[in-house]
Every structure is written in structure tokens, then in C-alpha cells.
Amino acid sequence: MVSTVVRTAPNHLSFNSPEAIKDCYGFGKANQSLCLKDPEFFLESVYGSWNIINENNKDEHARMRKMISHAFSTKALLEQEFILTKSVDDFIYHIGTIKAEGGKAGVDITAWFNNVTFDIMGGMAFGDSFGARVGNYGAKSHDKYHWVGVVLDSAFINDVMRCTTLVPYLPEFLDWCIPKRYQESSYAHMDYSIIETQARIKKQTEPDRPKDFLHYMLNFPGPKATEKEMASHINALMMAGVITTSTFLSGVLYYLMSNPTPFNKLKTELRTTFSSLDEISCTSTAQCEYLGAVIKEGLRIYPPAGGAHLPRIVPPEGAMISGYWVPGRTRVSVHQWSVVHDEKYFHRPDDFIPERWIKGEKASEMGDRLEASQPFSYGPRGCLGKNLAALEMRLILAQMVWKYDIEWLNPSVDWERDNQGYTLWHRPELRVLFHERVAGIV
């Protein structure tokens, strides 16, 4: 029998089971405390101020989560749907106008997904578009659209920094090893966060300001956040909100293009449900069953943070993790990719099968442990942005597939082989050409 736990370091146990997800990341049990985030893994941000992602004190984290959570309620997000819609409309228009870029046919859709999700996050965070949607960001540090490149570089440097927690004294040599570009990007991400936060705070008294993320932070009735704390939250939200959603969109498009049967079923559903692009909205797409199944399966087979261990520290009294007694202060984690690609929990785990998520379909009756797929993590530290991510995923995917027939220009790419898995995925180029479909043809 293959074990569901492996020791990856002297004091680190990595688990592979749905039960371990609840035990490591859940709310704790009657007879034991919850496991806390590993302070060595989650780095400080924005000049020493902690944020919603890296704050380890559970009371402080609860305050932060309460302050920010209202901004991510479905009601609050739908009030700002016009921000999301404008960015997506421009994205959908522009991808169909470009037949070549960078000396190559078609577009690298992974970069364009970065652009549109960055533009959406800019609008939702600050109430203002960043103009990155048309793919024109470049090495101009004074331009907001340069921030998207900085965010991507910062994600890489964060992955490197987390690795150093495993090797004593290694951080002392990082300046010698890490290219200057990445070091500069890490600081630039901090600078952008605080500069844009300060600029937005000055606009707070303007009439008819959108109820963006900073609106909810500034109007929180509880203990007020400092300017640096708000900037730190923005720093974290911009990185998490841009990269994870764009990663999912790249992955699900790859798996759809690799699997014509589900791709055609999705086209049929969307093109028979909606008679015009204007009908496709955040609300209307929620009724599309197969679209929802495609998104759930995309998140399962290619979880955006699937390479992450997200370690927790067992409470001092010890804890039962997936049936094993683990001593206190042990580092524990669940490797998400391993769980969702394990045939103990999913039949044909490496195959893209949206039907497994639809009741009544044969594929849904194969005994899959659907709760084993937790792409937004689980428990009190679960992703706050999952409602926003769901709206983005539905709207972008539905409009793109409804409007265009998509030609895949580099089918030799192998997503599992060519992705580099750290905390987040470093994706290969995915080149496509968008052809506007003939009206009336499904």
C-alpha cells in the first residue's frame, strides 16, 4: 500500500489525502488547535507591514479578513461589474485584431491573460483602469502597465526566497545569485503598491468614487489599517489576483484545445444559449452548467497554485493529520497537484473530463472524491478572491469561446512537461490565432 505521507525535510511532512486538507488547513477540532501558517515560508511585504496572506497571528488575520472580505462578496463585486466588463470587452476586441506579434503568427495568449487580469485587478483595487489590456506594457517604469511585468518577476523572486528557508545561511548569498532584474522588480512591486495606494487615498473625497477594494479598507468600522498595511494588502492582492486567474485561463484553454469533444460541447452550450455577445454577463453565465463544469475541471487538473506546499505548523500539543499522530511544531502541508492526480481520488485523473462535475453524467458516478479538489485552499485562510476569480473565469472564457474560433499554432507544447512548477506555475508560450466565427454557425 502506498502511503499518503512523505517526509520531505527533517521537520516537514507532505500529505496526499482529502482528509489532510481539512486537518492541515481547517478550523481545528474540539480537542486540538488549528495549524498556523509557517512564518519562515511567508515573507514580509511592503517595508515590513504584514498582509492578509502572510499575517500569522490568528487574531490579526481575523481583523484583516473581516476588513477586506466585504469587498469580495458577490454583491459588492456585481456592483463593480462595469469595471470588469470594460476590461474584458477591450480584451475580447483586441485579441481578434492581431494576426501576428513579436515576429510570430498569432498571439501568446498567456501574456494577454496576464494583461486582462491585471487590468481587472487595477480597476477593482483602485477604481481606475491600468490600460494593460491591449498588451502594450513595456520597460517604462513610470507607466502603470509596466507593473504587470514587475508582478510576474516578483512572483518568481518570492518562489526563490521561499526555497531559501530550507537551507541555512543561503539568504546571505542571494544578492550574488539572483539577477539584478528580479531584485529590482521585487522592490518595484512594493513601490508601485504604496505609490498607487497613496494616490487612491487622496481621491477618497471625490464624488461617485467606485467602491473599490481600498474603499472598503478606508471605511472599515473596526480598527483602522495604516497606509503601509493597506499598501501591503494591495501588494498581495495584485500578485495573487493577477497570476492565479491568468494561469487558470491559460491552462483551461490548453486542455480544451487538446480535447475537442469537451471543447465542442462548450461551444454548443454557449452559442445556443446566447444570441449576442451583449447577453454574456457575470450573472447570465452562472446558469451555464457545462461552462461551470469546464471551470471546475480546469481548476482540478491544473490548480493555479498546484506546485505549492503551503506549509503549516502543528500546534504544540500535536495533532492527528490524515490518521497519523504528528508531534507539535512539525511543518506539515498538502501537495495539491498530487492529490488531484491520484487515482485513489479521481478516476482517469490525468484526463480532462468536465462531466465528472455534472450530476446524472456517467463520469459523475465513478466514485470521484470531488472535495479533494480545493484550488482556493480551505478553511480560515482560504482564498478571499474566489468569487472575483469565478466571475472573471466565466466572463472571459464564455465571451472568448462564443465569439471566436481558435486556431492553435504551437500544438507541440506539452502543458505538463513544459510548465515549471514552483509555488505558482511558470507557463510556456501558448500561441493562438482568433478567427471571428460566422454568425449562426455553432
Grade residue 130 by pLDDT with cuts at 50, 70 and 90. Answer: confident
Tell whether the model's pLDDT for residue 277 goes beyond 90.
Answer: yes
CB 189 within 8 A of CB 239: yes
Nearest-angstrom CA–CA distance, 14 and 27: 19
Residue 269 carries which side chain, given as an amino acid letter?
E
Local confidence band at 13 (pLDDT 50, 70, 90 cut-offs): very high
Cβ count near 145 (within 10 Å):
21
User: Shortest CA distance to 110 belongs to which of 152, 138, 146?
Assistant: 152
Among the residue ranges 28-32, 239-243, 310-314, 346-350, the one predicted with the least confidence is 28-32
Give 3-state DSSP helix, strand, coil % of the chain, rounded to 5: 50, 10, 40
State how far the Cα of 301 lies from the Cα of 303, in Å rounded to an integer: 6
CATH number assigned to the domain comprising residue 385: 1.10.630.10
Q: Total domain count for the chain?
A: 1
Domain membership of residue 355 (yes or no) is yes
CA atoms 149, 152, 158, 164: torsion sign: negative
Residue 442 located in a structural domain = no
Cα-based torsion angle of the residue sequence 104, 110, 115, 121 in order, rounded to the nearest 10 degrees: 180
The pTM is what?
0.93
Residue 123 in domain: yes
Report if residue 287 sits inside a domain: yes
Residue 382: which domain range? 5-436
The pLDDT tens digits for 154-179 are: 777 777 766 666 676 776 676 677 77
| pLDDT (tens digit per residue) in 51-108 | 999 898 889 999 999 999 999 999 999 999 999 999 999 999 999 999 998 889 999 9
DSSP string, 145-188: GGHHHHHHHHHHHHHHHHHHTTSTTGGGGHHHHS-HHHHHHHHH
- Separation of alpha carbons 369 and 413, rounded Å: 30
